[in-house]
Amino acid sequence: MRLDKKVAFVTGAASGIGRRIAQVYAQAGAIVVVADLDMESAEAAAQELRGTGARALAVAVDVTDESQVDAAVARTVEEFGGLDVLVSNAGIQIVAPLAEFKFADWKKLLAVHLDGAFLTSRAAMRQMIASGRGGSMIFMGSVHSKEASVLKAPYVTAKHGLEGLTKVIAKEGAAHNVRANLICPGFVRTPLVDKQIPEQAKALGLSEDDVIRKVMLKETVDGEFTTVDDVAAAALLFAAFPSNALTGQSLVVSHGWFMQ
């Protein structure tokens, strides 16, 4: 599975899952754009990639901002001559019972996950059509694209929504050799999850250990967290797969928490 000379734009690549995807893509020969709100960490991630001999660029982008997204994609094309792979991965989590959910938090979460996916995929689609090169788009869903959990109304809503967007892009993109797929990880120990453990413990009246064992990993076949390596391997498969045989799909990487 090689990505030699492919240009990959990975959002949320300054941390966690996105950062690992950026590393794995670079190892597979890709030129990687580390796109993130957190410019300091994005620059550190890009520098680390350049240290391994890869070509990499950090760009500051808020995926909810139309002009920032368009400018970041334009800069990518200017620097590297095209865009072949989009990983729309930037995400946040806010947990609360529905009855207490603040409208502002609902809108913020939907904006990062859904507006972010729309704006980045629209910019990528325009470029992939104009270049005639086609490309591969990968959206970061979740087991919560398939299942619900308490306290996560906007997250579950957004992650289900991404499955719909993936399928539309698979249909619209086919004529232009653009593919779209969704990765649906189970719980992965990243800053996003580490923040949730004490929050859920408080909201559910459980110890942090019980949140991990009895909530997060309860339905897995082996009580194990999914890892950033597991998710990055799926992201490499979708990016490097050479035909439309694999488009409009969702791949659940969750230690059997959800079985299709």
Sign of the dihedral through C-alpha 99, 90, 221, 180: positive
CB nearer to ligand NAD: pick between 38 and 48: 38
Residue 44: strand, helix, or coil: helix
Q: In whole angstroms, give the CA distance from residue 206 to residue 208.
A: 6
Q: Site for ligand NAD (CB under 6 A): which residue of 124, 178, 188, 215?
A: 188
CB nearer to ligand NAD: pick between 44 and 204: 44
Task: Confirm or reject binding of residue 90 to ligand NAD (CB under 6 A).
Answer: yes
Residue 256: strand, helix, or coil: coil
Any idea which residues carry the catalytic annotation? 155
CB nearer to ligand NAD: pick between 130 and 148: 148
Give min distance, CB of 158 to ligand NAD, in A: 8
Residue 258: strand, helix, or coil: coil
Give min distance, CB of 209 to ligand NAD, in A: 17
CB nearer to ligand NAD: pick between 80 and 187: 187
Distance of CA 224 to the CA centre of its chain: 21
Q: Site for ligand NAD (CB under 6 A): which residue of 29, 38, 74, 122?
A: 38
State how beta strands 85-88 and 7-11 pair. parallel
Task: Confirm or reject binding of residue 173 to ligand NAD (CB under 6 A).
Answer: no
Residue 167: exposed, middle, or buried by beta-carbon count in 10 A (0-12, 13-18, 19+)? middle
Give min distance, CB of 193 to ligand NAD, in A: 4
| Stretch binding ligand NAD (CB under 6 A), from 46-54, 59-67, 173-181, 238-246 | 59-67
Task: Confirm or reject binding of residue 76 to ligand NAD (CB under 6 A).
Answer: no
| Stretch binding ligand NAD (CB under 6 A), from 51-59, 60-68, 167-175, 233-241 | 60-68
The first and second tokens of residue 20, run together, are 């690992």
Task: Confirm or reject binding of residue 11 to ligand NAD (CB under 6 A).
Answer: yes
Sign of the dihedral through C-alpha 105, 143, 242, 16: positive
| Stretch binding ligand NAD (CB under 6 A), from 50-58, 168-176, 188-196, 205-213 | 188-196
Residue 113: strand, helix, or coil: helix
Beta-carbon contacts of residue 227 (< 8 Å; ≥ 6 apart): 188, 189
Q: In whole angstroms, give the CA distance from residue 191 to residue 108.
A: 18
Binding interface with ligand NAD (CB under 6 A): 11-12, 14-18, 36-38, 61-64, 89-92, 112, 140, 142, 185, 187-188, 190-193
